[in-house]
Amino acid sequence: MASQEADRQTVTGWVGWVWFGGIMLVTLGLFQGFQGLVALIDDEFTTAIGDRLIVVDLTTWGWVHVAMGALLVIAGAGVLAGALWGRILGSAIAALSILAQLPILPVYPIWALVVIALDAIVIYALIVHGAEASAV
């Protein structure tokens, strides 16, 4: 029992990755919320991909992003508090965030790739080094 408690209290420099992950969850949540608000404000979006013109009603898409952004901010707060539920929720929502960026990849490739890369780094930080945050 004492060795388990001693192992739990061991914190390495990798805990910085978990703090980074928590802060990035909050930041990515704000990004997703902003993206959702933009979709709600301009809910008729027209774009040209190749020789095709695509017109999409983005109201539902906007609400999905606003909800996802709120969940990311809540998960980030949980991670920063050292809660296990924050790491689980953060990893799951970050994975869904990656999937949510795939449809807009042809339209906004730089934005989507940045969000996908940050989500992947957050998932890595929370899964590999997440237990260290609860020891702090």
Q: What is the mean pLDDT of the chain?
A: 81
The per-residue pLDDT for 136 is 53
Neighbour tally for 9: CB within 10 Å: 10
Mean pLDDT of 115-129: 89
**Per-domain residue ranges for the chain?**
2-135
pLDDT more than 90, % of the chain: 32
Answer whether residue 129 shows pLDDT above 80.
no
Reported pTM? 0.77
- Scan for tokens 């260290």, then name that residue: 132
The per-residue pLDDT for 90 is 92
pLDDT, one tens digit per residue, over 60-93 is 878 888 999 999 999 999 988 888 899 999 999 9
DSSP strands (E only) in the chain: 44-49, 52-57
For residue 59, give the DSSP letter.
H
Mean pLDDT of 111-136: 83
- Cα dihedral 60, 62, 64, 65, rounded to 10, equals 170
